[in-house]
Structure 1
Amino acid sequence: MGKYQQDAKLLLEYVGGKENIVAVSHCVTRMRFVLNDPAKADVAKIETLKSAKGTFTQAGQFQVIIGNTVQEFYNDFTAVSGLEGVSKEAVKSAAKQNQTTAQRIMSALAEIFAPLIPAIITGGLILGFRNCIDSLYLFENGTKTLCDISQFWAGIDSFLWLIGEAVFHMLPVGICWSVTKKMGTTQILGIVLGLTLVSGQLLNAYSVATTAAADIPYWDFGFFKVNMIGYQAQVIPAILAAFTLVYLEKFFRKICPAVVSMIFVPFCSLLLSVIAAHFVLGPIGWKIGSVISSVVYAGISGSFRVVFGAIFGFVYAPLVITGLHHMSNAIDMQLIADFGGTMLWPMIALSNIAQGSAVLGVIYLQRKNAPAQEVNIPACISCYLGVTEPAIFGVNLKLNFPFLCGMIGSAVAGAFCVATSTTANAIGVGGLPGILSIQPQYMLTFAISMVIAIVIPFVLTVIMGKKKQVS
Structure 2
Amino acid sequence: MGKYSNDILELLKGIGGKENIVTVSHCATRLRFVLADPKQANVKAIESVKSVKGSFTQAGQFQVIIGNDVSTFYNELIKETGIKESTKDDAKKAGRQNLNFLQRMISHLAEIFAPIIPAIVVGGLILGFRNVIGEIKMLEDGTKTLTDVSQFWAGTNHFLWLIGEAIFHFLPVGITWSIARKMGTTQILGIVLGLTLVSPQLMNAYGMAGGGEPGVWDFGFTQIQMIGYQAQVIPAMLAGFILCFLEIRIRKIVPEYISMIVVPFFALVPTVLVAHVVLGPIGWQIGSFISDVVYAGLTSAVGWLFASIFGFLYAPLVITGLHHMTNAIDLQLMSDIGGTNLWPMIALSNIAQGAAVVGIIFLNRNNPSKEEEKQVSIPAAISCFLGVTEPAMFGINLKYVFPFLAAMIGSALAGVFSVATGVMANSIGVGGLPGILAIQTGHWGTFAISMLIALGVPFALTLVFANRKILVKKDDQLSA
Pairwise same-fold verdict (TM > 0.5): yes
Q: Judge conservation of contact 2:124–2:428 (CA < 8 Å) in 1.
A: yes
Partner of 2:51: 51
Q: CA deviation at 1:187?
A: 0.3
Q: Distance in 2 between matches of 1:312 and 1:84?
A: 42
Matched, 1:470 2:450: no
Partner of 1:22: 22
Partner of 1:336: 334
Cα deviation code 1:68-117 (max 9, x no counterpart): 11112112211221112211111111111011111111111111111111
Q: CA deviation at 1:428?
A: 3.6
Q: Which amino acid aligns with 1:69?
A: D
Q: TM-score, normalised by structure 2?
A: 0.96
Q: Distance in 2 between matches of 1:430 and 1:110?
A: 16
Q: TM-score, normalised by structure 1?
A: 0.98
Partner of 1:410: 411
Partner of 2:440: 439
Cα deviation code 1:339-373 (max 9, x no counterpart): 10001111001000001111110111111221221
Q: Distance in 1 between matches of 2:148 and 2:29?
A: 48
- The equivalent position to 1:300 in structure 2, one of 298, 301, 322, is 298
Q: CA deviation at 1:211?
A: 2.6
Q: Judge conservation of contact 2:202–2:214 (CA < 8 Å) in 1.
A: no
Q: Judge conservation of contact 2:30–2:66 (CA < 8 Å) in 1.
A: yes
Q: Judge conservation of contact 1:12–1:81 (CA < 8 Å) in 2.
A: no
Partner of 1:460: 461
Q: Distance in 2 between matches of 1:13 and 1:183?
A: 36
Q: Which amino acid aligns with 1:106?
A: I
Partner of 2:473: none
Q: Judge conservation of contact 2:61–2:95 (CA < 8 Å) in 1.
A: yes
Q: Distance in 1 between matches of 2:155 and 2:243?
A: 40
Q: Judge conservation of contact 2:177–2:191 (CA < 8 Å) in 1.
A: yes
Matched, 1:180 2:180: yes
Partner of 1:227: 225
Alignment of 1:140-219 (within 5 A): 140-212=140-212, 215-219=213-217
Partner of 2:363: 365
Partner of 1:348: 346
Partner of 2:424: 423
Q: Which amino acid aligns with 1:295?
A: V
Q: CA deviation at 1:216?
A: 2.4
Corresponding residue SS for 2:228? coil
Q: Distance in 2 between matches of 1:428 and 1:57?
A: 26
Corresponding residue SS for 2:209? coil
Cα deviation code 1:299-338 (max 9, x no counterpart): 1111111221111100101111111000000000000000
Q: CA deviation at 1:262?
A: 0.8
- RMSD, aligned α-carbons: 1.0
Q: Distance in 2 between matches of 1:252 and 1:268?
A: 8
Q: CA deviation at 1:466?
A: 2.1
Partner of 2:98: 98
Q: Distance in 1 between matches of 2:382 and 2:126?
A: 25
Q: Distance in 2 between matches of 1:74 and 1:210?
A: 56
Partner of 1:377: 378
Alignment of 1:74-85 (within 5 A): 74-85=74-85
Q: How many residues align?
A: 469
Q: CA deviation at 1:455?
A: 0.4
Q: Distance in 2 between matches of 1:285 and 1:46?
A: 46
Corresponding residue SS for 1:57? strand
Q: Distance in 1 between matches of 2:18 and 2:310?
A: 42
Q: Distance in 2 between matches of 1:77 and 1:8?
A: 6
Q: Distance in 2 between matches of 1:77 and 1:257?
A: 44
Q: Judge conservation of contact 2:232–2:335 (CA < 8 Å) in 1.
A: yes
Alignment of 1:53-68 (within 5 A): 53-68=53-68
Q: Which amino acid aligns with 2:460?
A: V
Partner of 1:285: 283
Q: Distance in 2 between matches of 1:73 and 1:378?
A: 19
Q: Which amino acid aligns with 1:364?
A: F
Name stretches of at least 5 consecutive residues in structure 1 with no aligned partner: none
Structure 1 vs Structure 2: percent identity of aligned residues?
A: 63
Q: Which amino acid aligns with 2:478?
A: V
Cα deviation code 1:211-254 (max 9, x no counterpart): 35xx3211122222211100000000000000000010001100
Cα deviation code 1:373-408 (max 9, x no counterpart): 122112111111111111111111111111100000
Q: Distance in 2 between matches of 1:163 and 1:211?
A: 27
